[in-house]
Amino acid sequence: MVTEGKAQVLRIYIGSSDKLKHTPMYEAIVMEAKRFGIARASVFRGILSYGAHSQLHSAKIWALSTDLPLIIEIVDEKEKILAFIDHLSEWFEATDFGGMITTYEVEIIKYQGHKNRQTEQSK
């Protein structure tokens, strides 16, 4: 697990209605990243997007879209990220939804958990 220095970011763009069996795909990916020992994973919800078919997906109240854009961002060492991409490839091949996977290099300046997490939880 990288805590400082060079790291790789994996970004996965999917829709909120995408599922792996009966589990939301974003949840399945984050839980799999945790089992894989990945350092960090977060899911971000978008308000407007389009993809390969140029169909707009919007969070506007009058819009009919129920498939809002999501970005799953995962950070760790480059080798671990590349291995995780290989691992996830089977999932993407087994499903019928679209998406996009990107990576880029970053410099981790600080990576630290909460210092008093157990003290805060016991209050």
pLDDT digits (tens, 9 = 90+) for 33-84: 999 999 999 999 887 767 666 666 665 555 555 678 899 999 999 999 999 9
Q: Where are the beta strands (DSSP E) in 37-112?
A: 40-45, 48-49, 57-58, 69-76, 100-108
Residue 31 has pLDDT above 90, yes or no: yes
pLDDT at residue 111, rounded to an integer: 79
Q: Where are the domains of the chain?
A: 15-112
Read off the pLDDT band of 26 (50, 70, 90): very high
Cα separation, 113 vs 81, whole angstroms: 21
- Alpha helix locations (H) across 1-123? 25-36, 78-94, 117-122
Residue 102 has pLDDT above 80, yes or no: yes
pLDDT at residue 105, rounded to an integer: 96
Q: Which residues face 40 on adjacent strands?
A: 75
Residue 28 has pLDDT above 70, yes or no: yes
Q: pTM of the entire structure?
A: 0.79
Q: 78-94 and 25-36 are packed helices; what angle lies between their axes, rounded to 10 degrees?
A: 140
pLDDT at residue 66, rounded to an integer: 66
pLDDT at residue 24, rounded to an integer: 92
Q: Give the domain 15-112 fold.
A: Alpha-Beta Plaits (3.30.70)
